């Protein structure tokens, strides 16, 4: 009965989004949105298997362009409480994006409000991920989420882009979800910067750094360094790799997990079997200063049923070292809808 109820909820959400799929209301206002739902089964060793069947997340976003130089973005985000709920109170709905961007027309844009971190090859948004689960983020959680502040992006030419941000915090307070910072600069603050280069055909190289002062993470501050690259080999295949190093901070997944510093890495390979069917293959891992580590092997095929609807599957095997688990098997299926 519980599974049927959740399935009905997913179907209702998709139907509601489809019915209101007005991409462009007028020249100044447009909407976009997406929703994902999945069945996920995990068998850890040692331990008891567990599963879930949920509407994983949904987003509705409005974009306002009152002039050609000014853009405002606001989005509402849904994620079930108890499944990575979006606030300390367990609320299932939160205001995610809330920012205004001014384009100077010289290659420089200025943004103020609540926006997503620059860092990370893998997407914060489930609709844009390569797999049902992320390849990384398990121990160290090195990729920040949302925060409030100001940022500046400068496009030097068609191949090089720089960006820098001053924010309320790069990482949320312990116990807070990644959809929000701490809303203050009095006790701590954060900063990010990056450079992206696309001057070589089919190659993108991205390097960034993030910093959070020690207010949220006594007794020391937090640094994170991130580099990733993506290369399109040909029309059918793409390869990507990332290395992240994080020094400082706490983890939000439990006191038994390793803390403070270490590295994450991943290698992705995508192969397009047809125009509608493709698969990602991934090897990823983490190494923490406590000595705990893992290596994760994943395959995640996706079939695009229509331009708006896709079906995805995933199998992953994770081998742990110096951790409470020896290994774990994961299998899942997911429906993704967007407009």
**pLDDT of res. 249:** 64
* 3-state SS, one letter per residue, for 206-249: EEEEEEECCCCCCCCCEEEEEEEEEEECCCCEEEEEEEEEEECC
Domains along the chain? Answer: 2-338 (2.40.160.10)
pLDDT at site 248: 75
Q: What is the pLDDT of residue 38?
A: 96
What is the structure's pLDDT at 288?
85
Mean per-residue pLDDT over the chain, rounded: 86
Cβ-based burial of 59 (10 A; exposed 0-12, middle 13-18, buried ≥19): buried
Give CA separation, 89 vs 85, 94, 174, 177, 296, in Å.
8, 11, 13, 10, 32
- The pLDDT, as a whole number, for residue 80 is 82
3-class DSSP assignment, residue 129: coil
Q: Please state, in angstroms and rounded to a whole number, the distance separating the CA atoms of residues 47 and 19.
A: 43
Q: How far is CA 333 from CA 36, 206, 304, in A?
A: 11, 31, 14
pLDDT at 202 over 80: yes
What pLDDT, in 10s, does the model give residues 229-240? 999 999 999 999
pLDDT in tens, 284-294: 999 988 788 99
- Which residues, other chains included, contact 219 with Cβ-Cβ below 8 Å and sequence gap of 6+? none
SS3 for 24-81 is EEECCEEEEEEEEEEEEEEEEECCCCEEEEEEEEEEEEEEEEEECCEEEEEEEEECCC
Q: What pLDDT does residue 215 have? A: 65
Which residue(s) pair with 151 in the sheet? 111, 165
- Residue 303 neighbours by CB under 8 Å, 6+ apart: 276, 277, 310, 311, 312
């Amino acid at each position: 009965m519980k599974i049927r109820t959740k399935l009905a909820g997913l179907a209702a959400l998709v139907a509601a989004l489809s019915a209101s799929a007005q991409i462009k209301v007028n020249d100044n206002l447009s909407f976009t949105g997406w929703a994902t739902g999945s069945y996920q089964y995990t068998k850890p060793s040692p331990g008891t298997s567990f599963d879930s069947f949920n509407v994983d997340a949904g987003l509705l976003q409005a974009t306002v362009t009152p002039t050609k130089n000014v853009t405002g973005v606001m989005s509402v985000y849904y994620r079930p409480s108890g499944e990575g709920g979006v606030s300390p109170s367990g609320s299932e709905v939160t205001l995610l994006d809330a920012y205004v961007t001014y384009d100077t027309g010289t290659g420089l844009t200025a943004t103020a409000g609540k926006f997503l971190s620059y860092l990370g090859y893998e997407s914060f948004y489930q609709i844009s991920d390569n797999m049902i689960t992320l390849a990384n983020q398990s121990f160290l959680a090195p990729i920040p989420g949302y925060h409030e502040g100001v940022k500046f992006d400068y496009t030097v030419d068609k191949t090089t882009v720089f960006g820098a941000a001053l924010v309320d915090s790069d990482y949320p307070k312990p116990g807070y979800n990644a959809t929000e910072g701490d809303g203050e600069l009095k006790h701590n603050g954060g900063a990010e910067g990056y450079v992206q280069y696309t001057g070589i055909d089919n190659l993108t190289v991205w390097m960034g750094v993030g910093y959070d002062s020690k207010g949220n993470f006594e007794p020391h501050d937090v640094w994170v360094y991130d580099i990733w690259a993506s290369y399109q080999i040909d029309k059918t295949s793409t390869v990507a790799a990332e290395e992240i190093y994080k020094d400082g901070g706490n983890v939000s997944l439990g006191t038994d997990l390793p803390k403070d510093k270490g590295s994450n890495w991943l290698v992705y390979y995508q192969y397009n079997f047809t125009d509608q069917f493709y698969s990602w293959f991934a090897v990823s891992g983490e190494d923490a200063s406590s000595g705990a580590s893992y290596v994760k092997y994943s395959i995640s095929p996706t079939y695009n049923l229509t331009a708006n609807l896709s079906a995805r599957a995933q199998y992953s095997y994770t081998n742990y070292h110096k951790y409470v688990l020896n290994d774990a098997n994961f299998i899942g299926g997911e429906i993704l809808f967007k407009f």
